[in-house]
Amino acid sequence: MAAATGVLTRIGVFYDGNFFFHVSNYYQYHHERRQRISVGGLHEFIRDEVGVREDVDTRFCQVVEAHYFRGRLRASDADDRDLLFRERVFDDVLVREGVTAHYTPMSRENERSVDVPLALEAYELASYDRFDVAVLIACDGDYLPLIRKLNARGIRVMVLGWDFRYQDANGYERETRTAQVLLDEATYPVHMVSVIDERGRKNDALINDLFVPRREAMPAPPREPREPREPSQPYTPGPINNTPADVQGVEMVGTISALKNGYGFITPAIGGENIFFFHADVLGRDFLDLKLGEKVEYISTTNERGPCARNVRVMGA
């Protein structure tokens, strides 16, 4: 009917950034696709899905509001963890796709919940009649009151839910599930794992475009000398290494000897047992583009579980 009258079905998309980042990491490090979720591809999928559910031509389904909510470290703390460049790259993605970012202050220790600011923004925009369909990318049952409020205003709600299991770097099994109450109250619940893994859609361009294409490694950002820092990641599976005390906290070289799901090991050039590194500590190269046998430089340091490598960079990259 909307297509016949030329009336748009307006879509508002609201991201719980903590959840979205977690889902994207799952597909990059634990799923067979080994790719991140594409924001632009996700918006195209949403437009198509809304068109199917609303019986409207996709041309008349447009994302008119898109908002991303996440906690963010202070610049100095992010710089200590070498996160500033990565955050800026993702900000560029959001700008390019027309997504408004809403960041709340976050401490080093705790990921900040964003359910309240997301719900307030969504409901305020709904009260101004800014969209007809609200799409919620979240899993927390705390969003249930928001869905009920939107329903009361006659706004249809689509929930993109993911349920999956994986093993973390320590070998522990982790599980992510979207709260059933969200799916029950949503006008259009979408089980994304079933959609993405459906055999009949293996060659569907709409599904494949949900993921960022594999590409060549991004050039490394300029690096200034700095004092050695304590590691930000506590993961150190495997045997405790015997890195000599006199090379702790200094730059070393070695060879990548093992690559696992989200972590790997480096054989130091000076000898000794292999040293663990986490995917978030790789600079200037996507972790999935690393290769066995590549020469790397890194900062040798320790965490509560033993020696590990920080600031891992492929030599010559």
Task: Give the domain CATH number at 59.
Answer: 3.40.50.1010
Residue 317 is predicted with a pLDDT of 61
How far, in whole angstroms, is CA 227 from its chain's centroid?
29
- Phi, psi values for residue 125, rounded to 5°: -65, -35
Query: 224 in a domain, yes or no?
Result: no
CB atoms within 10 A of CB 161: 23
SS3 316: coil
Per-residue model confidence (pLDDT) at position 237: 41
- Evaluate whether residue 237 is within a structural domain: no
Residue for token pair 């300029």:
222
CA distance 264 to 290: 10
Adjacency order of strands within the sheet including 133-137: 100-105, 61-72, 9-16, 133-137, 156-161, 188-191
| Domain finish residue from 190, 208, 226 | 208
In a domain, 236, yes or no: no
- Tokens 């979207």 label which residue? 178
Q: Is residue 154 part of a domain?
A: yes
Helix (H) or strand (E) run with residue 158 in it: strand 156-161
190 with 278, same domain: the answer is: no
Q: Please tell me the distance from the alpha carbon of residue 285 to that of residue 111, in angstroms, as a whole number.
A: 25
Q: Which of 208, 233, 267 is the last residue of a domain?
A: 208
Taking alpha carbons only, the member of 283, 265, 282 closest to residue 274 is 265
Check residue 87 and give its pLDDT: 87
pLDDT of residue 110: 59
- Using DSSP's 3-state secondary structure scheme, residue 229 falls into coil
Classify residue 294 as exposed, middle or buried by CB count within 10 Å of its CB (0-12, 13-18, 19+): middle
Host H or E run for residue 78: helix 75-80
- 10 and 108 in a single domain? The answer is yes
Query: Could you tell me if residue 189 is inside a domain?
Result: yes
44 and 177 together in one domain:
yes
What is the Cβ-side half-sphere exposure of residue 3, based on CA atoms within 13 angstroms? Answer: 9
Number of domains in the chain: 2
Q: What is the pLDDT along the chain (317 residues), one digit of tens a residue?
A: 454 456 899 999 999 999 999 999 999 989 999 999 999 999 999 999 999 999 999 999 999 999 999 988 888 777 777 678 888 889 999 999 999 999 998 866 556 689 999 999 999 999 999 999 999 999 999 999 999 999 999 999 999 999 999 887 667 888 999 999 999 999 999 999 999 999 999 899 999 999 998 763 343 334 333 344 344 444 334 433 444 444 456 788 999 998 887 788 999 988 888 899 888 788 877 787 788 999 999 988 887 667 889 889 888 76
Please check whether residues 164 and 252 belong to one and the same domain: no
Q: Which two tokens stand for residue 251?
A: 């730059």
Q: Are residues 266 and 168 in the same domain?
A: no
84 and 38 co-located in one domain? yes
Residues 250, 244 contacting (CB under 8 angstroms)? no
pLDDT computed for residue 55 by the predictor = 94
Residues 203 and 270 both lie in one domain: no
pLDDT (0 to 100) of residue 234: 41
What is the span of the domain harbouring residue 12? Answer: 2-208
**Cα(220)–Cα(88) distance, integer angstroms:** 13
